[in-house]
A and B are shown apart, each in its own frame.
Chain A
């Protein structure tokens, strides 16, 4: 348990210091998803639901291979299927495993007001602690990837944990374990970036994907999930992957300048009123004087 708190580097809605900030030299972990070798088998979807013991929820067939339109509170891992038309008119499948990106600068954590409801471990995993969640949904607003999902029965929010429970026992996440094509890899961020870059280079040089590249968006400080894409210039075609994800400007404005301005104004106002009272006192004093005066001259 004492080790557990040392492994936390960021805590949502937290006043004061964080016990694990810069106290351990844990490597940052990373999941690598090579979209070019995904066959859309959905083994990762099943493995996720199985490992996390989540109840099944009904789905509707909408003329797509995609299991459901978006991830759900009990479905954290979803392959987005996109039939993409190339410039020469031919079709190609773009399949992208969608899940929490485990941002280095998580918008959910920034927006969360509940102490300890969202934590970031020193290994980079962003994890929701549902026992502290108050269900306000600010994380939903803070996330640029549309990941946190609300459960109406528990009134709390859920998402991919990057199998923090498995990882803490030196196991790879369930989705990685289940992947039959080797399109999913897991390791340190450094290693995964290197592997991803070499794969992108291979795609560019040997497979004719001139725009192949690695998706590790700097707007959120980089992510704990990186993609190899055939076309790094148009990530939107992979089921709405944002090209330049950022913590929403309004969340930043709200949580930093407005917060400071508001706090200074509130404390300043309070001090101002106290000083006014000390300097001028109540108006009543003069009413009392008047009453006394009238009493003398009825």
Chain B
């Protein structure tokens, strides 16, 4: 099965393969658990989230393991998608047209490929933050084993872990907004894998052209 999508019957196009979807949801569920328990440890105002997740002790024990699952799945995501995530000239033009994108003037956007520049930022952001979260997270997992002479590692870890988690939260909020609220059909594509031809043509014209072999529909 091609990872780049194929033409399905009834005017649908396969956007995400089964493997990509499964991997995405492993990352997603692990991340949401990490987010809820992490926010509980972040602020006393949100400590009730830890109670909701089975109590402070359980949350403390499971958070690092969920982190490992998250990290492994993110690395597999890298294996699947890294080749398609390089910044192209279209992406640079895309960032310059960000204003139009925000205003939903999608016809003014340069023709994005399978992933637009924003999605590429999400991907690299999660990869880099994932690595930082893992490195700092390992130290926070076993602070009692870090010798006193290396205590600066612990001092660094609390900052790096919180700061990189905050960055992922920013990316995550936009990701959820785009996929669930702004681009109807996007969430469905992450679940069942397929999108309509209109969806592909409008949001990912470069990719549509690749898959279907025709140019984007002329705009009026």
Q: Which residues of A does B touch, CB under 8 Å?
A: 13-15, 70, 111, 113-115, 132, 134-138, 140-141, 146, 149-150, 152, 155, 248-251, 253-254, 258-259, 262-263, 265-266, 269-270, 273, 276-277, 280-284, 286-287, 290-291, 294
Q: Which residues of B contact A254 (CB under 8 A)?
A: 158-159, 162
Contact of A283 with B104 in the complex, beta carbons under 8 Å: yes
Of B44, B103, B184, the contact of A113 (CB 8 Å cutoff): B44
Of A251, A265, A283, the contact of B166 (CB 8 Å cutoff): A265
Q: List the B residue with the shortest CB-CB distance to A70.
A: B148
Say whether B125 faces chain A, with CB atoms less than 8 Å apart: no
Of B156, B174, B185, B198, the contact of A273 (CB 8 Å cutoff): B174
Contact of B60 with A282 in the complex, beta carbons under 8 Å: no
Contact of B151 with A280 in the complex, beta carbons under 8 Å: no
Contact of A141 with B154 in the complex, beta carbons under 8 Å: yes
Q: Which residues of A contact B140 (CB under 8 A)?
A: 136-138
CA A263 to CA B60, docked complex, whole Å: 22
Contact of A266 with B182 in the complex, beta carbons under 8 Å: no
Say whether B59 faces chain A, with CB atoms less than 8 Å apart: yes
Contact of B202 with A287 in the complex, beta carbons under 8 Å: yes
Of A138, A140, A263, A291, the contact of B43 (CB 8 Å cutoff): A263
Contact of B173 with A269 in the complex, beta carbons under 8 Å: yes
Q: How many chain B residues have a CB neighbour from A under 8 Å? A: 47
Q: Which residues of A contact B163 (CB under 8 A)?
A: 258
Q: List the B residue with the shortest CB-CB distance to A279.
A: B103
Q: List the B residue with the shortest CB-CB distance to A277.
A: B181
Within 8 A of A (CB), among B172-198: 173-174, 177, 181-185, 196, 198
Contact of B181 with A262 in the complex, beta carbons under 8 Å: no
Q: Which residues of B contact A273 (CB under 8 A)?
A: 173-174, 177, 181
CA A13 to CA B57, docked complex, whole Å: 14
Contact of B144 with A262 in the complex, beta carbons under 8 Å: no
Q: Which residues of B does A touch, CB under 8 Å?
A: 40-45, 47, 50, 56-57, 59-61, 102-104, 106, 140, 142-144, 148, 151, 154-159, 162-163, 166, 169-170, 173-174, 177, 181-185, 196, 198-199, 202-203
Given A115-B44, A135-B60, A269-B173, answer yes or no on A262-B166 (Cβ-Cβ < 8 Å): yes
Contact of B106 with A248 in the complex, beta carbons under 8 Å: no
Q: Which residues of A contact B170 (CB under 8 A)?
A: 265-266, 269
Listed by A's residue number, 28 A-B pairs whose Cβ atoms lie within 8 Å are A15-B47, A113-B40, A134-B56, A134-B60, A136-B60, A137-B142, A137-B143, A140-B144, A140-B154, A141-B154, A141-B157, A146-B148, A149-B144, A150-B143, A155-B61, A250-B158, A254-B162, A263-B43, A269-B174, A273-B174, A273-B181, A282-B104, A282-B182, A282-B184, A283-B106, A283-B182, A287-B196, A294-B198
* A236 CB to nearest B CB, Å: 13
CA A124 to CA B47, docked complex, whole Å: 26
Q: Which residues of A contact B166 (CB under 8 A)?
A: 258, 262, 265-266
Q: Which residues of A contact B43 (CB under 8 A)?
A: 15, 259, 263
Contact of B158 with A286 in the complex, beta carbons under 8 Å: no
* A61 CB to nearest B CB, Å: 21
CA A34 to CA B205, docked complex, whole Å: 79
Q: Which residues of A contact B44 (CB under 8 A)?
A: 13-15, 113, 115
**Most chain B CB inside 10 Å of its own CB: which residue of A14, A70, A273:** A273
Q: Which residues of A contact B182 (CB under 8 A)?
A: 277, 282-284
Given A134-B59, A138-B158, A251-B158, answer yes or no on A291-B198 (Cβ-Cβ < 8 Å): yes
Contact of B155 with A249 in the complex, beta carbons under 8 Å: yes
Q: Which residues of B contact A150 (CB under 8 A)?
A: 143-144
Having A134-B60, A273-B173, A287-B196, one finds 5 other A-B pairs with CB under 8 Å, namely A15-B47, A134-B50, A135-B60, A140-B143, A155-B60
Of B42, B57, B59, B185, the contact of A262 (CB 8 Å cutoff): B42
